[in-house]
Structure 1
Amino acid sequence: MAPLAPPVAAIRIAVRRALADLSTDGPVLVACSGGADSLALAAATAFVAPRSGRTAGLVTVDHGLQSGSRHRAEAVARWAEQAGLAPVEAVRVEVAGRPGGPEAAARDARYQALAEAARRHGASALLTGHTRDDQAETVLLALARGAGPRGLAGMPARRDLAGTPLVRPLLEIGRAETRAACAALGLVPWDDPHNSDPAYARSRIRGDVLPVLVRALGPGVLDNLARTAALVAADNAVLDELADTALSQARHPDGGLATGALADLAPAVRGRVLRAWAHELGTPPAALSHRHLTALDALVTAWRGQRASYLPGGLRVLRRGDRLVSEAAPAPTCRTTVPQATGTTPDEAVVDR
């Protein structure tokens, strides 16, 4: 009997650990595009799941953005059935018309489809094939975009997706290992041309930036970037716990948040409190920017009588005495308002100070 290839063994061990942490007995569903990472993950899950007393299925999403995408999705589904995975679905999604750029729109459509598939099948978890290399790219992108600790923490190994755990078992596995595992198993992965298209920032990081860093600093830079994400994530977890407590203590008896309680907080905790409160009010998380949080913070720490700060989702926050309160933003009007000579803005303008 031929010895098991080390990359195959490493991926199976990672999957076994991920499955052992699941608390419910429903099937696990692998999100598989047919690329090397998700294909290696699906093959490992097909092997490990039945030996762990679990059923495992697969969902492949056809974004309809490339010629032949439907046939590729069908081919992935046929392979999954032959590998013993069940249930298996090939889901077509509509990307056009969604907010954000093409990457964001495709990602939104994909995760919506995965969440719906998980609900249909009562899945205990969704598994995705994000690797250590993906994590390193995410950290570099966060640095380039000026993200704070939440961005530098990268992708969590586990998060909630519409009520279903989304698990990333391969965050400590390199992309080279998933390709080697596919080769050892005789699997032929599909190479998405979008992954090498320089029109996308992540593709430029992957094709241009990371190779330079590896040549200059050695291959360990990938592990170091991924380790940085894990360390920052651990610190974030503590700060988020402190913020949860502080948010409860800052709630004003008459509604809103008490500015005195907020002013006494460390800036790192106060920012998290304001972010969590904005989410409670209905601001979409992806739309809330550093600019919005800075404006909210100024209502607490640099109060000079300024007007409301406007948040995505049709909300505005203003200060009344010793508290922050929120209300629906007024609908814009069609009348023309001439600014005063002092340079003040019309009431309908968005004010962020």
Structure 2
Amino acid sequence: MARIPPPVATIRAAVRRELTAGPVLVACSGGADSLALAAATAFVAPRLGIAAGLVTVDHRLQEGSAARAAGVAEWALSAGLEPVRVATVDVRGRGGGPEAAAREARYEALSAAAEQIGAAAVLLGHTRDDQAETVLLALARGAGPRGLAGMPRRRGVFVRPLLDVSRAETRKACAALGLATWEDPHNTDPAYARARVRADALPAVVAALGPAVVANLARTASLVAADVAYLDAVAAGALEATRSGDGLSVPGLAALEPAIRGRVLHRWAAELGAPGAALSHRHVAALDALVTDWHGQGPAALPGGIRVARRGGDLVPDGL
């Protein structure tokens, strides 16, 4: 029996650990990471009795994108993945810059495809290197624990089996399997912050601190994610305990530890309709000041045109 190349075996094992129910869809761009994931899924899923398909998203941002998507779909069918979907999206008119717009459109398309076939999971090809880059970007933004927690292994229908696998291993797996990979030009375009981190920042950190830093950054994300999950669970209970009429009790909020109070205020602001992508630390700090630094100031302004005022012993949406 031919020996399975170690990178191929590593990726198959990673997929096997995450496949618990089906059907599943692999999100595949044709790049090495997602192609290695798709090939591993095509091998592992049938042996577990799980149906597996593939979806590739055409963002229409580059010449030849439709042909690339069609090629990925053709390969997927030849590999035994079924159903196979090509999702064409329009990123024009979306806020947050081209990178954020493409990501938003992509996840909408993947969610829609999952709903159409009743998928139990959509597998994403993010690797340990992607996780390390995410942590560095979060540090640069001054993000809190939620940002440093990086990308979750599981969130809703989305699953990332390769967060403990290096990008180098996915490339070696594709080479061992004879798979032709596509290189997204956005990954090397210095106009994008992640591309600059990938090309310059992370290699500089590795040069200064050694190659283990990539795995250590990814491990940090995993450790912080566990803490965030616990604190979020505590905050969910605290939010219910501090509700008062249409708002929140100021004395109840004041009695909370700052780490919990901030999470409670963030959750409540989201409930009021503040868009999550725009809701930042400064907005939560303004709400917190209504509790801990009250000197008669006016309402705190939140994204989405929402205002919150202190009335008597409660924080309430302004206008109620």
TM-score, normalising length: structure 1 = 0.89
1:82 aligns with 2:78: yes
Report the more deviating stretch, 180-189 or 277-286: 277-286
Question: Which residue in the other structure is 1:110 paired with?
Answer: 106
Write out per-residue CA displacement over residues 252-302 of structure 1, whole angstroms, 9 at most, x where no aligned residue. Answer: 1x2200000101111111000000111111111111011111100001100
Instruction: Give the whole-Å Cα distance in 2 for the aligned partners of 1:297 and 1:76.
Output: 50
Amino acid at match of 1:2: A
Instruction: Give the whole-Å Cα distance in 2 for the aligned partners of 1:269 and 1:39.
Output: 41
1:196 to 188, 194, 198: 188
Question: Which residue in the other structure is 1:282 paired with?
Answer: 273
Task: Map 1:4-15; keep pairs closer than 5 Å.
Answer: 4-15=4-15
Cα distance, 1:145 vs structure 2: 0.4
1:152 aligns with 2:152: no
Write out per-residue CA displacement over residues 186-239 of structure 1, whole angstroms, 9 at most, x where no aligned residue. Answer: 001100010011111100100001111112211100010000001101111111
1:303 aligns with 2:291: no
Task: Map 1:238-257; keep pairs closer than 5 Å.
Answer: 238-252=230-244, 254-257=245-248
CA contact (8 A) 1:136 1:225 kept: yes
Amino acid at match of 1:300: V
Q: More helix by proportion, 1 or 2?
A: 2
Question: Which residue in the other structure is 2:255 paired with?
Answer: 264
Instruction: Give the whole-Å Cα distance in 2 for the aligned partners of 1:134 and 1:183.
Output: 20
Question: Which residue in the other structure is 1:341 paired with?
Answer: none
Instruction: Give the whole-Å Cα distance in 1 for the aligned partners of 2:290 and 2:242.
Output: 15
- SS in structure 2 opposite 1:240? helix
- SS in structure 2 opposite 1:59? strand
Question: Which residue in the other structure is 1:44 paired with?
Answer: 40
**Uncovered stretches (5+) of structure 1, i.e. residues with no partner:** 330-353
Task: Map 1:325-344; keep pairs closer than 5 Å.
Answer: 325-327=316-318
Amino acid at match of 2:259: A
Instruction: Give the whole-Å Cα distance in 1 for the aligned partners of 2:113 and 2:305.
Output: 31
Cα distance, 1:311 vs structure 2: 1.2
Task: Map 1:205-216; keep pairs closer than 5 Å.
Answer: 205-216=197-208
Question: Which residue in the other structure is 2:217 paired with?
Answer: 225
**Uncovered stretches (5+) of structure 2, i.e. residues with no partner:** none
CA contact (8 A) 2:299 2:318 kept: no
* Count of matched residue positions in the alignment of Structure 1 and Structure 2: 320
Task: Map 1:101-140; keep pairs closer than 5 Å.
Answer: 101-140=97-136
Question: Which residue in the other structure is 1:351 paired with?
Answer: none
Amino acid at match of 2:199: G
- SS in structure 1 opposite 2:19? helix
Question: Which residue in the other structure is 2:165 paired with?
Answer: 173
Report the more deviating stretch, 26-35 or 130-139: 26-35
Cα distance, 1:85 vs structure 2: 0.3
Cα distance, 1:328 vs structure 2: 6.0
Amino acid at match of 2:74: R
Cα distance, 1:2 vs structure 2: 2.3
Write out per-residue CA displacement over residues 233-253 of structure 1, whole angstroms, 9 at most, x where no aligned residue. Answer: 11111111111111111011x
CA contact (8 A) 1:132 1:174 kept: yes
**Greater than 4 Å deviation, 4+ residue runs:** none
Instruction: Give the whole-Å Cα distance in 2 for the aligned partners of 1:327 and 1:69.
Output: 48
Task: Map 1:317-328; keep pairs closer than 5 Å.
Answer: 317-327=308-318
- Larger Rg: 1 or 2? 1
CA contact (8 A) 2:132 2:217 kept: yes
Report the more deviating stretch, 106-115 or 305-314: 305-314
| Distance of aligned partners of 1:8 and 1:92 in 2 relative to their CA distance in 1, 3 Å threshold | same
Amino acid at match of 2:311: R
Instruction: Give the whole-Å Cα distance in 2 for the aligned partners of 1:244 and 1:112.
Output: 27
TM-score, normalising length: structure 2 = 0.98
- SS in structure 2 opposite 1:97? coil
- SS in structure 2 opposite 1:106? helix
Instruction: Give the whole-Å Cα distance in 1 for the aligned partners of 2:164 and 2:196.
Output: 22
- SS in structure 2 opposite 1:275? helix
Instruction: Give the whole-Å Cα distance in 2 for the aligned partners of 1:192 and 1:174.
Output: 18
